[in-house]
Amino acid sequence: KAGVTQTPRYLIKTRGQQVTLSCSPISGHRSVSWYQQTPGQGLQFLFEYFSETQRNKGNFPGRFSGRQFSNSRSEMNVSTLELGDSALYLCASSGLEGSPLHFGNGTRLTVT
Amino acid sequence: KNEVEQSPQNLTAQEGEFITINCSYSVGISALHWLQQHPGGGIVSLFMLSSGKKKHGRLIATINIQEKHSSLHITASHPRDSAVYICAVPRAGNQFYFGTGTSLTVIP
């Protein structure tokens, strides 16, 4: 099986712009979750989608949004980018409830 | 207070040494996860355990539910074990509390 694929791997944006990141889960996995990782805050949960519905949401402003398509692929969008949004964004997919997470290699976003 | 505490934050070991990383948590859990992150960012799930002990190669994970404590051991450490090790406990669905990570460097 192909692993979790995230695109793009690297992204440089300017303050005020918006960005869309993509995540293709492992075939058959219906849960996709997104995480932000920064040196100061570590790994933080953004949101989780299951069967096209947002199931859980972390404590992030409304500028962070996401969606999931019928093929389980997911996108996250960050609008009005701020310097503090510079981070590694990771997505993970999983199958049945309680099964291990499978992570993508992440998208490294730099906001200048 | 963080729901998940890891120690140590940084660890340097000589090749061949036995390594222990600790994780304490304050919430009730169904299972605890140990993750490995290599430079470059990708994260690999090493273990998911809810009781007792699991072993995979040179890696051993243990958990004591009553004491809310888990340990990750690496026997006969090797430079390729150099990575950040993160413990995580579920909050709801795939929403997790994460430890701050332990950065391990194994010197040849």
pLDDT tens digits, one per residue of A57-112: 999 999 999 999 999 999 999 999 999 999 999 999 988 777 888 999 999 999 99
Q: What is the least distance, in Å, from the CA of A97 to any CA of chain B? A: 7
Determine contact, residues B70/B64, Cβ cutoff 8 Å. yes
Q: What is the average pLDDT value for chain B, to the nearest integer?
A: 93
A9, A10, A45, A97, best to mutate vs chain B, most B CBs in 10 Å:
A45
Q: What pLDDT does A1 receive?
A: 66
Q: What pLDDT does A13 receive?
A: 98
Bigger pLDDT: B23 or A41?
B23
Length of chain A as a residue count: 112
User: Looking at residues B71-89, what average pLDDT do you find?
Assistant: 96
In degrees rounded to 5, what are phi and psi of residue B75? Answer: -95, 150
Report whether pLDDT(B64) > 90. yes
With beta carbons under 8 A apart, name residues in chain B contacting A100. 33, 45, 48
- Asked if B103 reaches chain A (Cβ–Cβ under 8 Å), the answer is no
Q: Would you place residue B87 in the very low, low, confident or very high pLDDT band (cuts 50, 70, 90)? A: very high
Report whether pLDDT(B55) > 90. yes
CA-nearest of A104, A78, A82, A105 to A93 is A104
Q: How far is CA B91 from CA B26, B32, B60, in A?
A: 12, 11, 24
What are A's interface residues with B at a Cβ cutoff of 8 A? Answer: 31, 33, 37, 42-45, 48, 50, 55-56, 58, 88, 90, 92, 94, 97-106, 108
